Structure 1
Amino acid sequence: MSNEVQIDEYIDSQTTEKLTKLFQFANQEKSEELISRISEIANKKLLSHPHSKGYTLLHVCCLKKLHTVVKALLDLSIDANQSRKECGKTALHLACLSGDLISCHYLYQSGADLERCDKSGNTPLMYASQQGNVGIIYYLLQNNASVNSRNNQQSTALHIASYFGNHESVRLLINLGANIDVQNNLGMSPIHQAIEQKQLKSIETLCKEGANLNKKNNDHLTPAQYAFILQDETIFKYLSIYKKSREITRKGIYKIKTKTFYTILPPICLLISLFCFALLPIYYWAPINTGIFLFYKKKINQFPLNLAHSPAVASFSLSLYIIGFVCNLLTIFKTTIILRPLNSLLYLIFCLLFIYWNIKLMKMDPGFIAKSKFNIIDFLNEKIKLQEISEINNLEICTSCLIRKPLRSKHDNTFDRCIARFDHRCLFT
């Protein structure tokens, strides 16, 4: 499935002079001249005639992303499902390959078959998944394209997206109903395909979306074993840790639910810190407290899966503030409370207010974008009508929330929500 198609080699010098000229204009991306010539010719049979390589003018215009010319051809009732005999690719396959969302829209409106396969059994969705074009994948699936269709090798669009490392496409396909553990004729699941091509981002996405790490291919190899056979230490280590962390999450830690454990751990650390502070000099207390902080951070970071541990992070952050507050307060009581009671009282009030504001800040809405399923069909119709093509070309869709992402927004993994004007999130603030 090559994504590089040279238009020059498709020009057939044996066809009529008019048709040859049209292919030359398409090769040079001269849309206005093409539309003018097409209007003059207005001959459906001639305009549908393939050149020596079997590609028609509609195919070439889809490859070159000339959506205005595609619209002009379709307005003359050119067959939207015409295919190349050698490979069976239709114009929709080629529009998905080139990433031309507008041409895909025009073709579908003109009756293009979303389930039409080429001679390898690949559907348009599979070509869009190969290219990682999230907009086209979303468009095809919103128009009820089958997400679990299989090609001649029994691979699905998810296999192809995983193989080519398009992790955003992987997430979108799964969220729109793709079978995450489906196997092809070699017994390879999507995660096996990603491992084969060393696509770590796709592997991480598949793991977080719940891929079965015990699934075996026809060689009786699990994903971790397959990575070991391929001698990829990074992927093998990641899968081993992930599998272990998933098992710990299922069983719990010391018979306590993982989320609960990470929430009660900070207060315990706080008590240890206060005990050390009360009994030990400051030069002992400081490194011990630092060690507790590093231990907690390591414990959280060793879990690559999405634990949704924001309560634990909030609890730990608050504990740090309380540690600082109590330690400073004890120092003041030892030195200045008798001499300067007013200053000590003000300090106490401001510390309590600071902790209150910190708790309030943790509970504040950081600017969540409302979840409402994005209707890409209405969006395209509106923007094409207003001729706002740049907005279509710059379209961004959140593959988790299934919404159109506004400018500067970003998906926050801690809350699993999109946040407007997202800059960054510090883990322990």
Structure 2
Amino acid sequence: MKKTFGFRSKTEVLPLGSSISLGRDRGHHRTSFQPGYHIRDRDLKKIHKAASVGNVAKVQQVLLLRKNGLNDRDKKNRTALHLACANGHSEVVALLLERKCQLNLGDSENKTALIKAIECQEEECATLLLEHGANPNVTDVNGNTALHYAVFCQNVSLAAKLLSYDANIEAKNEDDLTPLLLGISERKQQMVEFLVKKEADIHAVDKMQRTALILAVNYECTDVVSLLLQRGADVFSPDVFGWTAEEYAAISAKKNFNCYLLHDQ
């Protein structure tokens, strides 16, 4: 569900949320982040059951006897490759890749096996997929790429690997969040620093025309604010409400000062 972001007065600061989602505040869609798959036997065919538990011999047998096809879908639109990646069964993944399975098929949320491997932090599976030509720039139903998921999980190693296989560092999801903007909105400082060093565009804006600097100010990420200013971020670039990072900073400072006074009393 999309929520509307706005202000009633200049005494209010951008509200912060707390949800495991790609896009945390009122201006962004709340995209589900579900590292594993909910598995029910009745949803699966023989090849899916075998792949989900890492039974290489059974997968081979099912394929040999042609009980299921290499790219067959289960009732949730998942392939054996999706299930093997989500559960970290790299030997099954290697077998499926050797048999020339399709790499970039999407599940019910259009998540590819690569996206699922990264969402589940299965680096070995993700590496195998990339080495065999998986496309890192396929998007899920909310426009997120594999790199968006690596950023959300703050996995610098996987992010670096994706970039080495031509992942688009400026890819935008449906809220126009680049991986850098997502990293800031989710307070993933280590990842933000990594992306800035990789020359991610610090002047990119989301659908509300909020810059990286505006987001960093609103989320009170002081180290990120300093980093962006050192890189020449524009303090005076306005969002759709006509507000600049400087104005947001002034409001935030006033709020913090008032909170300090109340606490001191």
Q: Shared topology, TM-score over 0.5?
A: yes
Alignment of 1:329-344 (within 5 A): none
What's the secondary structure of 1:183's corresponding residue? Answer: coil
C-alpha change, 1:56 and 1:184, in structure 2 (3 Å) is same
Displacement of 1:215 in angstroms is 0.7
Alignment of 1:347-426 (within 5 A): none
What's the secondary structure of 1:84's corresponding residue? Answer: coil
Deviations 1:208-231 (A, max 9, x none): 2111111100011112311322x3
Displacement of 1:162 in angstroms is 1.0
- The one-letter code of the counterpart of 2:139 is R
Q: Aligned residue for 2:231?
A: 246
State whether residues 163 and 197 of structure 1, in contact with CA within 8 Å, keep that contact through their aligned partners in structure 2: yes
| Larger helix fraction of residues | 1
Alignment of 1:282-361 (within 5 A): none
Displacement of 1:83 in angstroms is 0.9
Structure number, greater radius of gyration? 1
What's the secondary structure of 1:171's corresponding residue? Answer: helix
Report whether the alignment pairs 1:228 with 2:217.
yes
State whether residues 217 and 225 of structure 2, in contact with CA within 8 Å, keep that contact through their aligned partners in structure 1: no
C-alpha change, 1:141 and 1:5, in structure 2 (3 Å) is closer
Cα distance in structure 2, aligned partners of 1:89 and 1:145: 16
- The one-letter code of the counterpart of 1:2 is Q
Q: Aligned residue for 1:138?
A: 127
What's the secondary structure of 1:182's corresponding residue? Answer: coil
Report whether the alignment pairs 1:155 with 2:144.
yes
Cα distance in structure 2, aligned partners of 1:199 and 1:74: 43
Cα distance in structure 2, aligned partners of 1:6 and 1:226: 34
Q: Aligned residue for 1:64?
A: 53
Q: Aligned residue for 2:109?
A: 120
Cα distance in structure 2, aligned partners of 1:154 and 1:75: 37
Displacement of 1:6 in angstroms is 5.9
Give ranges in structure 1 of 5+ residues lacking alignment: 11-51, 249-429
Displacement of 1:135 in angstroms is 2.2
Deviations 1:144-194 (A, max 9, x none): 111211222222111111122222111111121111111111111112222
Q: Aligned residue for 1:102?
A: 91
Report whether the alignment pairs 1:196 with 2:228.
no
Displacement of 1:55 in angstroms is 0.9
Displacement of 1:5 in angstroms is 4.5
Give ranges in structure 2 of 5+ residues lacking alignment: 1-32, 234-265
C-alpha change, 1:133 and 1:4, in structure 2 (3 Å) is closer
Q: Aligned residue for 1:74?
A: 63
Q: Which of 194, 205, 208 is the equivalent residue of 1:205?
A: 194
Displacement of 1:143 in angstroms is 1.4
- The one-letter code of the counterpart of 2:81 is L
Displacement of 1:73 in angstroms is 2.5
- The one-letter code of the counterpart of 2:225 is S
TM-score by length of structure 1 reads 0.44
Q: Aligned residue for 2:254?
A: none
Report whether the alignment pairs 1:237 with 2:226.
no
What's the secondary structure of 1:147's corresponding residue? Answer: coil
What's the secondary structure of 1:162's corresponding residue? Answer: helix
TM-score by length of structure 2 reads 0.68
- The one-letter code of the counterpart of 1:228 is V
Deviations 1:94-113 (A, max 9, x none): 11111111111111222321
Number of aligned residues: 200
Cα distance in structure 2, aligned partners of 1:136 and 1:107: 11
- The one-letter code of the counterpart of 1:207 is V
CA RMSD of aligned residues (A): 2.1
C-alpha change, 1:150 and 1:3, in structure 2 (3 Å) is closer
Displacement of 1:58 in angstroms is 2.0
What's the secondary structure of 1:99's corresponding residue? Answer: coil
